[in-house]
Structure 1
Amino acid sequence: MVARVDFYHLLSAKLENILPRIAEKTLSSDKKLLVVVPDDQQARYWDDYLWRYEDTSFLPHGRVGGGDEAEHPVLISTAMEAVNQASYIALTDGLWRAEALNFERVFYFFDEIAVQQARQAWRSLKNIDGECHYWKQDEQTGQWKAIA
């Protein structure tokens, strides 16, 4: 089912600067997003952060366990189950999960600690029917550039 996997190699960039933008673009495309986090503490962190990351914008979202999960266009969860019927998924903890390929689009975020796992995932996805893109931030300009 996957149409596209975007690998985001986090060097100097922080996920806090990227994930809200990805969520905004997802919503502007009339899609729903499942944000997978490693634990409940991170789920609470992201739930709070997405309410306050920018004073001038509103990003509707919720967290599994917070009620009305199926209604949220952006849902934060520790599980891979898209109870909000999301077609996009963001893996925020650097861990690749093959179940992500059940989604139309995957945003896979990883840092230097998880780079070996990301490389292994990249190699394993070379023959999928969809597209794979590897994004790395330019250290001087801060712009994201497609490496592959």
Structure 2
Amino acid sequence: MGAANFYHITESPVEEVVRNLLSRAHAQGWRVEMRGRDAGRMDWFDQRLWGGGDSFLPHGRAGGPHDALQPILLTTAPGTEPVEAVLSVDGAEVTPEEIAARERVWILFDGHDQAALQHARTQWKALTAAGAQAAYWAEEGGRWEKKAESGPK
């Protein structure tokens, strides 16, 4: 059974956190679905992942003919392709069933945005009430520290 890891971003730029998590998942050979709520915002992430030189992460936008071949698939809706991990940004929804079926689920939220904080709290409550395992990580002094954990019910 997987776990949802909530990342409360307060110090690093979101694209840095995304790149770090995706790089680690890619190094493990995991396929990742990166899910957002807005197509324009996913275009923005698409450009950041192209990077250049050593910073390129192989990826594609959902809806193309090669979705099944993409190691990282950027989308605004749950996909149909099998993946080991889901990375949720900007309040994209994740279900307890997805968490149970994946190696890892990351839910990133902006700690300076009150609406994002409230949405993350609502997600935490709903997912843990449904029996999903979850951990809450906060940025402190440039490091990630686990602040809370909820096991399956």
For the aligned pair, the TM-score class normalised by the smaller chain equals 0.7 to 0.9
The corresponding residue for 1:118 is 120
When the two structures are superposed, what TM-score results if normalisation uses the length of structure 1? 0.84
Q: Distance in 2 between matches of 1:38 and 1:96?
A: 8
The corresponding residue for 2:87 is 90
Long gaps (5+) in structure 1: none
* 8 Å contact kept, 2:135–2:146: yes
Q: Distance in 1 between matches of 2:20 and 2:28?
A: 12
Secondary structure at the aligned position of 2:128 is classed as coil
Query: Does 2:10 align with 1:11?
Result: yes
Q: Distance in 2 between matches of 1:29 and 1:130?
A: 23
Long gaps (5+) in structure 2: 149-153
Q: Distance in 2 between matches of 1:145 and 1:55?
A: 31
What are the superposed Cα offsets for residues 51-109 of structure 1, whole Å, 9 maximum, x if unpaired? Answer: 11x642331111113431110000001111143x2121011112433264364121101
When the two structures are superposed, what TM-score results if normalisation uses the length of structure 2? 0.81
Aligned letter for 1:143? Answer: R
What are the superposed Cα offsets for residues 95-127 of structure 1, whole Å, 9 maximum, x if unpaired? Answer: 433264364121101123221221222223335
The corresponding residue for 1:143 is 143
* 8 Å contact kept, 1:5–1:131: yes
Identity %: 28
Q: What is the number of equivalent residue pairs in this alignment?
A: 143
The corresponding residue for 1:42 is 41
